[in-house]
Amino acid sequence: MAGYLIFLTISTTIFALFSLGLNLQWGFTGLINFGHIAFMTVGAYTTVLLSLQGVPLIFGVVIGAVLAALLGLLIGLSTLRLREDYLAIVTIGVSELLRLVVNNQPLPMGKEFRQGSFGVYGYALPPGDKLGLMVLSLLVLGLTFWLLETLVRSPWGRVLKAIREDEQIPKALGKNVFWYKLQSFMLGGAIAGVAGAFLAWQTTTVYPNNFEPLTTFYAWTIVVLGGAGNNVGTILGAVIFWGYDSLTRFYLPQLVHLDASREGAFRIMVIGLIMMVLMVWRPQGILGKKEELTLGK
């Protein structure tokens, strides 16, 4: 039981970190990103492949985060001057493109190369056991939360919120809206890249199917659940998301006796029903504000 609780804590922390990056992009800046998993993919594979080449883990994580930010730069330069729907389309396309590349491209593993569909394994992990990984992930989440709270409460963060509400207003005040959007998109991508490194350490193997588009929408669920534009709400959303995922996994079979395939479908239905009830009760999210409902309009 203790081992599962450690696993659950690490999973919650990873997705809280992953979702904080999306919350910066969408919750605070209004950028619709449907391919957020692309940044996690870059962070995970970069950290793993560099560790196989003997690069210290901390440098692998930093380089992975930087490459994820550069991916955000490339996407942003080509789309952020256009309408929001272009960004949504391009991001989901890039995420699938990356997944297909790592699925088909032979990847270096030490002195060998292995087809990407077999995944990557046998790489170094942070010192210590899963308990140590849990502590490390919580520390990184705490540091990231503090950094984001400091930024969004600063003049820089207030400009992001103004862009979210009506970008013509900061433009009229002489702010370079495109540059602010680009910074937000890159920083959110870098945070997702760090989350990717922790996902690789937790699973101890990295497969292309770990990075399907559905994972992005887990993050959207978490942000909407907790309240867009609220970092505390995002962390709370991750806790609730993994909490009801675990509770329905363990307790539903005791209440309803179905075969494995029907049980899985019924579980998804119950989770969806819980989400619907919550959205009717708090459409702005648990800690969100009603004015945040205008996001993206």
Q: Is pLDDT above 60 for 262?
A: yes
pTM here is 0.91
- The single-letter code of the amino acid at 266 is F
Q: Is position 192 within any domain?
A: yes
Q: Is position 262 within any domain?
A: no
Question: When comparing pLDDT for 121 and 34, which is higher?
Answer: 34
Chain mean pLDDT for the chain: 87
Q: Is position 228 within any domain?
A: no
> Per residue, what are the HEC states of 106-167?
CEEECCEEECHHHCEECCCCCCCCHHHHHHHHHHHHHHHHHHHHHHHCCHHHHHHHHHHHHC
Q: How many domains does the chain have?
A: 1
In the predicted model, what is the mean pLDDT of residues 78-94?
A: 86
Q: Is position 270 within any domain?
A: no
Q: Is pLDDT above 90 for 37?
A: yes
10 is in which domain, residue-wise? 2-211
Q: Is position 264 within any domain?
A: no
Residue 158 pLDDT grade (very low, low, confident, very high; cuts 50, 70, 90): very high
pLDDT in tens, 220-243: 989 988 988 999 999 999 998 888
Q: Is position 289 within any domain?
A: no
Q: Is position 131 within any domain?
A: yes
Residue 289's region, left for phi above 0, alpha for psi from -120 to 50, else beta, is beta
Q: Is position 182 within any domain?
A: yes
